[in-house]
Amino acid sequence: MTHASIGAPGDPYRYGVYLRPDPRTCQAVTTVTDQLRAQYGLISAGAFPPHATLIGSQHVAGAEADLVEAVTKALDGFVPFTVHNAGVRAQGVGLVYDVHHLADGRTVNEDLMNLAATVDGAAAPMVTSAANPEPHRFDSTTFHGHLSLASHDLYARADLRDEVEEYVRGLSAPHPASFAGDTVTMYRTRSDDWTGRWWQTLTWTHVHTWRLDS
């Protein structure tokens, strides 16, 4: 099935391409997001499958199959690399598992950066403008690899920010210190209102998985 963009800010579909962590890391992410939903009603981070965004919220014109084909060609020759998880960190208003650096905690993981830049370049010819939300395009000056744990809800509930961080750090949600960056996924997302609190009506459909050549 393919979906054509209808070109309006509220049209339902956006596309994202993500690095999927290993199952144990995914389990840790969902443990945290499920707990935050149960305790505080926070849902935005848990509205998505666990992932590190390569590109997200892409408003795509044309056939979905063409986007899959473009990313498939772009990923040819990429090999798995190690992704290091530095644990819970503050990012913006939210909290994330920080996966941006190598094991030293200082050196940027260039393999992750290159993967995001390549995927962005493959999708760019098919991306058309939409007022909301702003697409998550790759920008080497702002890109920071992460796995979201608490996010957009906290814009509206800033009063909970410190309490939520204390709660997350008190959870028993062990995660591996690293995982193989070998799985890339594409999802089609839909919301009734991309102009507002889109996460309240967000649904998603898995489109495609790529396993990087070993």
Which letter does DSSP use for residue 73 in this model?
A: H
- Most confident by average pLDDT, 97-111, 125-139, 192-206: 97-111
Is 2 inside any structural domain?
no
CA–CA distance, 81 with 177 (Å, rounded to integer): 14
> DSSP strand E in 5-151: where?
13-19, 52-58, 81-84, 88-91, 94-98, 146-150
CATH label of the domain that carries residue 119: 3.90.1140.10
- Give the pair of three-digit tokens for residue 114: 């290159």
Is 184 inside any structural domain?
yes
Task: Look up the domain containing 92 and give its range.
Answer: 13-211
Average pLDDT of the segment spanning 30-48: 97
Q: How many domains does the chain have?
A: 1
Match 């666990």 to its residue by tokens.
50
In this structure, the number of other CB atoms found within 10 A of the CB of residue 190 comes to 16
Residue 8 has pLDDT above 70, yes or no: no
Smallest CA-to-CA distance from 54 within 152, 144, 125 is with: 144
Is 4 inside any structural domain?
no
**What is this structure's pTM?**
0.91
Is 159 inside any structural domain?
yes
Is 137 inside any structural domain?
yes
The per-residue pLDDT for 169 is 96
Is 112 inside any structural domain?
yes
CB neighbour class for 172 (10 Å; exposed up to 12, middle 13-18, buried from 19): exposed
CA–CA distance, 43 with 197 (Å, rounded to integer): 11
Is 7 inside any structural domain?
no
Is 75 inside any structural domain?
yes
Question: b vs e for 13-49, b when ≥16 Cβ sit within 10 Å of the residue's Cβ?
Answer: bbbbbbbbbbeebbebbbbbbebbbeebebbbbbbbb
- Give the pair of three-digit tokens for residue 70: 């473009």
Mean pLDDT of the chain: 91
Average pLDDT of the segment spanning 177-204: 93
Q: Is 92 left (phi over 0), alpha (psi -120 to 50) or beta?
A: left
